[in-house]
Chains A and B, each alone.
Chain A
Amino acid sequence: MMATSSPTSPPPPHRALLLALALGLLGSAALTGCGGAPAAFSTRYPDNAHDDIAVLLRRLEAAGNRPAGTVAVGITAEPKKVYAVDMTSGRVLWESPAAATSEPIIAGEAVVFDTASGLVGLDLKSGAPRFTASLEVGKLQGAGGDGPLVAFTDTKGGGTLARSELVLVRGASVAWRREMDAQIGVPTVIGNTVLVPWASQYLSALDAVSGTEIARIRVGDGVIGHALPEGDGVYIGSNHGVAPITASVGSGQIRSGGFFGLPPKDLPGRPQLLRDVYGEAGVQTAESARHRIRLAWQPVQAGAGKVGAQDNTVYLVFYRFVLALDPADYALRWIHVHGTDIVGATGQAGGVAIADAKGGLATLGAASGKVVWQADTGKASTVVHLPRGGGHVEAGQPPSSDELREGLLAAAQDADTRLVPARLWAVDELSKTKDATATLGLIGLCDDTSTAAPVKAQACASLKGREIGADHLLTALGRHAGHLEGTKPPPVAALAKAAASLNEKRAVPLLVTHLADAQTPSRELRGLVESLAKLGDPSAIEPLTRFLQLYHADPIDEHLVGALEVIPGALVDLEATTSIEALRAVASDQLGSEPVRAKAEEALKILEAKKALAEKAAADAAAGKGGDAAAAAEQAAAKKPDPIDKPRPTHLSTEMINSALLPVRKELRACLTKGPKPHFQARVVLVIEDGKVLMVSVVPKELQACVEPLARAQTFPKTRVIKAERVTYTLKRK
Chain B
Amino acid sequence: MQYRKLERRLPAMFGLAIALTLALSSPLAAKPPKARKTAKAKAPSAQVVTAAKLMASSKREDVEAGIQSLGLLGTAEATPPLTERIRAGLPPDLLQTAILTLVALGQKEAGPVLLELSSHRRAAVRVQAIEAIASLNPDGAEAALSAALSDSDAKVRAAAANALGTIGAKGALPRLFTALDGGNMEASGAIGKLIDGTEVSRLMAYLGKTPFQVLASALGETLQRPDVDVSVKLQIVARMEEVGTREVKAFLGDLMGVAGDALGQKVSRAILRAMQEIPD
Contact = CB atoms under 8 A, between A and B. Distances in A.
A482 B148 CA distance: 9
Given A483-B182, A590-B58, A591-B90, A519 B122 contact: no
B89 A549 contact: yes
Given A518-B119, A518-B120, A554 B95 contact: yes
A588 interface: yes
A664 interface: no
Nearest to B93: A554
B119 A591 contact: no
Contacts of A585: 88
Looking at B58, B92, B121, which has the most chain A CB atoms within 10 Å of its CB?
B121
B122 to A, nearest CB: 6
Given A483-B152, A484-B182, A554-B92, A518 B121 contact: yes
Contacts of B269: none
B252 interface: no
Interface string B85-111: 001111110110000000000000000
B150 A482 contact: yes
Contacts of B120: 518, 550
B179 A484 contact: yes
Nearest to B157: A483
B129 to A, nearest CB: 11
Interface string A590-626: 1110000000000000000000000000000000000
A550 B152 CA distance: 21
A642 interface: no
B89 A484 contact: no
Contact of A591 (B91, B157, B175): B91
B122 A546 contact: no
B126 A518 contact: yes
B178 interface: yes
Nearest to A591: B91
B122 A554 contact: yes
Contacts of A522: 121
A interface, how many residues as a size bin? 20 to 34
Interface string B240-255: 0000000000000000
Interface of A is mostly: loop
B152 A519 contact: yes
B18 interface: no
B247 to A, nearest CB: 27
B87 A556 contact: no
Interface in A547-561: 548-554, 556, 560
Contact of A549 (B87, B149, B152, B175): B87
B37 interface: no
A551 B121 contact: yes
Interface string A513-555: 0001111001000000000000000000000001011111110
A483 B151 contact: yes
B53 interface: no
A639 to B, nearest CB: 32
A591 B63 contact: yes
A151 to B, nearest CB: 70
A553 B175 contact: no
Contacts of B121: 518, 522, 551, 556, 560
A484 B95 CA distance: 29
B36 interface: no
Contact of A550 (B58, B59, B89, B182): B89
A586 interface: yes
A667 interface: no
B119 to A, nearest CB: 5
Contacts of B87: 546, 549-550
Interface of A: 481-485, 516-519, 522, 546, 548-554, 556, 560, 585-586, 588-592
7 contacts: A484-B150, A517-B119, A550-B87, A553-B89, A553-B90, A554-B89, A589-B58
Given A484-B182, A592-B89, 11 more contacts: A484-B149, A484-B150, A485-B150, A517-B119, A518-B123, A519-B151, A522-B121, A553-B90, A553-B91, A554-B122, A590-B59
Complex A-B, nearest 7 residue pairs according to Cβ-Cβ distance, in ascending order: A590-B58, A482-B150, A484-B150, A553-B89, A483-B150, A549-B89, A518-B119
